[in-house]
Amino acid sequence: MPSETTMEIGPPKVQRGDRPATSLGLTPVINSEEQASEALRELAFLELHAATVEAQARRERSVIEHWAEAEASFEIEGESVRGKDRRFALEGALQSYADKKCPELQKADGKSAKRSMKLAAGTIGWKKAKDSVQICEGKTETDVIAALEKSSGGRKGKGIMSKIRGVIEHVLLFAADKRRRAVALMFDVRITLNRTRALNAFTNDTIDKSELRKLGLKFVPGEDEFYVKPDDFSLSP
């Protein structure tokens, strides 16, 4: 019995040349039971051929992936090291060097402050990630929208989400063109959270942290990130 590594799993191999002979042309027209059977035999072949092609494609992809993994590895001091692991090690070593050599760059503040070091083969330094507004742990976007609806409810109990949805649906319902109205009403109105606008509202002091928390949102300041930017590599002449 063959081992698992040598056993071929999948449908039997069929080639395009195995397509059964048929009297049905490019645009098939069936007028008899015999022609109907021809169509069924060809359909069976097409299904098996498609499965065979897909199985072969999977084998080819596996071969390519193994080749790519081997090609992306390098021998260093007698050990095989994957390229991505080597990058991780080099970037870590560069950050350790920068921490010792120029710690003031990380502490520098302000838009005009120098936070990078230009070297002969590239640049290393720190940059601040963008601030963001995120949904609190344990909450979903649906929870946020429901909280906004509840907090903005007026005398009739309808919040801003209901009002927005009502206005849009009113426009659709009373559209002048009957056909356009019918097509428009085939779609539901869905309101989603725009985090960029939520951040703008916070940074512009329109809302504060406590108001964000009531909605299930939180402000997350961007943190310092070490970055490496090598110059373009070129082969020696």
pLDDT tens over the chain, length 237 residues:
333 333 344 455 777 777 887 788 888 889 999 999 999 999 998 998 888 889 889 999 999 998 888 888 888 999 988 888 999 999 999 999 988 887 777 676 656 567 888 888 999 988 888 889 999 999 998 888 888 877 766 555 566 666 676 777 676 666 667 776 677 667 676 778 888 888 998 888 888 899 899 889 999 988 888 899 999 888 765
Task: Report the distance separating Cα 205 and Cα 154, nearest Å.
Answer: 24
pLDDT of residue 7: 38
| Other beta carbons less than 10 A from residue 14's beta carbon | 16
Q: Which pair of tokens denotes residue 7?
A: 């056993």
Query: Which sign, positive or negative, has the C-alpha torsion 20, 25, 27, 31?
Result: negative
Q: CA–CA distance from 228 to each of 91, 113, 224, 236 (Å)?
A: 7, 18, 13, 22
At 157 the pLDDT is 52
Q: How far apart are CA 138 and CA 213, in angstroms?
A: 13
Say what the pLDDT of residue 43 is: 92
129 within 8 A of 220, measured Cβ to Cβ = no
Residue 174 pLDDT = 66
pLDDT at 165: 67
Residue-level pLDDT at 4: 38
71-100 in b/e burial notation, b at 16+ Cβ within 10 A?
Answer: eebeeeeeeeeeeeeeeeeeeeebbeebee
Q: What is the pTM of this model?
A: 0.51
Q: How far apart are alpha carbons 184 and 174 in whole angstroms?
A: 11
CA contacts within 13 A on the Cβ side of 192: 5
Query: Quick one: pLDDT at residue 236?
Result: 67
Q: What is the pLDDT of residue 71?
A: 87
pLDDT score at 142? 87
DSSP 76: E
Enumerate residues 6+ apart whose C-beta is below 8 A from 156. none
What confidence score (pLDDT) does residue 40 get? 92
